[in-house]
Structure 1
């Protein structure tokens, strides 16, 4: 359905805004903000009345424009520190420090809860003036972010982006009358609800397809392809039974750890959590922390088995499709026995899926472990005959290709829906389209979609390389 435009427009004088409805008012962003108060981190919780929810940027559900509430953090915040910082329903919270190359600093979400909470020191509490709906302001801030208006107000030091709020809040915006704000919000709530419901269904489909794929892989790499083969106990809990003619050997009897020199023309190879090991530029060129000095970098050859020591628990194991150089945190392995590296990449990923690597390894940072080659070398792994390893890989390539295509199609559809949603919000809050008549037919309240527990298929490895 095409949306109509307003009868008359005027130049806004602002490049990202373009023309706006003739009667909308141009104002600086700061004019709609009654208060901007820095957040607080406080001290470790003491299980007393001073403990309070402290909302962090990691709690932002930016796609929905609200907070996630599944894993809230409590901190001890003194009464004096709480003064002026207690969030009220309808407040906005803006990220002022953090960000990165993939997602710049400056995201804003709405606090729409009744429980007592403050926001962390990397954020500010924003109280919106009475003449502007906080829900409209939240969508306006989303548009400022999607249009990259925040970028020119970012100052970066030591890898952390800081948003100059004083400068940012001087940006000019267009503000419609209050009844029109209500109509725009009502229309967008309904329209984005439909989009989010479709996205949620597609994410559930992706999760189901991934489960189906993993079940096929797990059965093939631990049970083989012959359903009538006699079985025996492997002696390893996460593996269970294996075909009777298979052997069990330690990792160090199958692979050696290499330490190859690097050549000047080598590009960086990255091991991703989905099992792909490829030149970084093949996946993306931004979102990584670059090393000032490539100390300890090593060569990797096409066909090497690569184990990411800190992210192997999450599936960062695979066979390199390229020659290049990589971080010393990787174990670059080549066979010393007649084994097929791709088969063992799947075996180790299955070990990770069963939480075996996480149980074995000592974590050195949040959401990581330390699974070094020495630890891998002690693990007992199944050893099918070489021809059978090859047959298993051929079988899995055939069986999972259609699943992978279905997953990629769903991801592309989600991306298109999210782009449409972003564009729709921007068009409505800047007056590019007139939704007033459509909004009249809609009720005010829309059930919120909580999709924080739906699997997020985005690539979250922007900071996986501590050395890079």
Structure 2
């Protein structure tokens, strides 16, 4: 069991509370300075592979998804001639200043590698220490990643469709720090060791989930393209990505079996009318719908227009690679979805089979292949409606659904159990970081085990 420090004092910051006697509270701006990410890039007419202005840059996803910058996950961009001031340096910290969800805003990462001619994404700010002899960048990164700082930065963020964090909120952020850099480095080493153990375990569990998901997808793919009878005669569907289907099945464009965006929110409601809003970040093919928000009508995003009903299928038409696809359950009946979704209502097909076919790899891959754009690939709802799908007879559709549900039930339960376990590990990881970087535990005498 870890011990506490001998004596504590008031930090002078209400939300931080008491800190060890030998620690100080100081505003971040006195430890270093912020610098901006890329401000622009050359037009396509200038672009060529051997251009001297082709440089690496750190995408915002690298910061949002990694505690430490992964130097293998860099993109290439063509910069303006005068953008050398944005070169990143070893031990720089990076803040995600703009995001579509509050969970990511203010996230930090640290660069432990030396990268030459590498730049920062425009959604981010870099932070460079004035004196690396006095401040350990890894400790500071752990501190800013702790629960109290994550919550504080999230509260300071503003916006609806895109949430932004002002530079002043970062610069004036009070941070607590041991006077001794050796102590800072010791805390960082303690956390490096323990978080690596936790992350390794999480990674193994995530790999198991991936295998279970692949198993589930294989069951769905086989059922919606070949049916249940292994001996049934097959025919060429006429669709390259679909291949052969049972001889007695039909192929129909989606628009002949579903309605699209059937129910739309009226233009006028009472200002205090509450809207339960589903945005793209709330939806995934594996977890369904999570973390919806409630808005007053007068404050709701302009994209809050699509009324969804039980058994509707919603498909994201933007950033289609995210696979934001799910079937609406009774819990979300009459919720309002973003116009970034195509809302499909079964008409000449059972909602059971519609749910399965829209989860199949062949259907999703076709949507992604038809999407246009690089950063935000998108597809029109009309293009989705023209996608051909296999259509068995109604009775067979229901039998296929029931068979798949039976086979994947244990799969879903296993995935859910592992996801719960992963969340507990992540919560423990955050708790451990917060305890160490706020001085609740004293790790100055800790030694890394040999094994």
TM class by shorter chain equals 0.7 to 0.9
Task: Indicate conservation of the 8 Å contact 2:54/2:76, yes or no.
Answer: no
Task: Indicate conservation of the 8 Å contact 1:99/1:105, yes or no.
Answer: yes
Name the structure 2 match of 1:162.
165
Q: Equivalents in 2 of 1:436, 1:275: separation in Å?
A: 43
Distance 1:64 1:418, change over 3 A: same
Task: Indicate conservation of the 8 Å contact 2:57/2:74, yes or no.
Answer: no
Q: Equivalents in 1 of 2:410, 2:114: separation in Å?
A: 47
Q: Equivalents in 1 of 2:89, 2:292: separation in Å?
A: 40
Q: How does 1:31-430 map to 2 (within 5 A)?
A: 31-33=30-32, 35-44=33-42, 47-60=50-63, 62-67=65-70, 69-78=72-81, 80-83=82-85, 85-95=86-96, 97-103=97-103, 105-116=105-116, 117-128=118-129, 129=131, 130-143=133-146, 146-151=149-154, 153-154=156-157, 159-165=162-168, 168-169=171-172, 171-257=174-260, 259-260=262-263, 267-268=275-276, 270=278, 272-274=283-285, 283-285=291-293, 291-293=300-302, 297=305, 299-310=307-318, 314-322=322-330, 323-324=333-334, 325-327=336-338, 330-337=341-348, 339-350=349-360, 355-359=365-369, 361-363=370-372, 366-373=375-382, 375-430=383-438
* Residue 126 of structure 1: how far off its partner (Å): 2.2
Q: 1:232 aligns to what SS in structure 2?
A: strand
* Residue 180 of structure 1: how far off its partner (Å): 1.4
* Residue 283 of structure 1: how far off its partner (Å): 4.4
* Residue 250 of structure 1: how far off its partner (Å): 3.3
Distance 1:20 1:326, change over 3 A: closer
* Residue 240 of structure 1: how far off its partner (Å): 1.7
Task: Indicate conservation of the 8 Å contact 2:225/2:242, yes or no.
Answer: yes
Q: How does 1:14-25 map to 2 (within 5 A)?
A: 14-25=13-24
Name the structure 2 match of 1:27.
26
* Residue 147 of structure 1: how far off its partner (Å): 4.7
Distance 1:8 1:160, change over 3 A: closer
**1:433-467 deviation digits (Å, cap 9, x = unpaired):** 11122236569xxxxxxxxxxxxxxxxxxxxxxxx
State which drifts further: 314-323 or 221-230.
314-323
Task: Indicate conservation of the 8 Å contact 2:251/2:389, yes or no.
Answer: yes
Name the structure 1 match of 2:3.
4
* Residue 133 of structure 1: how far off its partner (Å): 1.3
Q: How does 1:421-440 map to 2 (within 5 A)?
A: 421-439=429-447
Q: 2:447 aligns to what SS in structure 1?
A: helix
Distance 1:266 1:223, change over 3 A: farther
Distance 1:327 1:407, change over 3 A: same
**1:224-256 deviation digits (Å, cap 9, x = unpaired):** 112222222222222222222323333343334
State which drifts further: 36-45 or 304-313.
304-313
* Residue 153 of structure 1: how far off its partner (Å): 4.9
Q: Indicate yes or no: 2:12 matched with 1:13.
A: yes
Name the structure 2 match of 1:448.
none
Task: Indicate conservation of the 8 Å contact 1:352/1:358, yes or no.
Answer: no
Q: 1:187 aligns to what SS in structure 2?
A: helix
Task: Indicate conservation of the 8 Å contact 1:101/1:286, yes or no.
Answer: no
Distance 1:340 1:72, change over 3 A: same
Distance 1:311 1:371, change over 3 A: farther
Q: Equivalents in 2 of 1:183, 1:318: separation in Å?
A: 46
Q: Equivalents in 2 of 1:205, 1:160: separation in Å?
A: 34
Structure 1 gaps of 5+ residues are 444-468
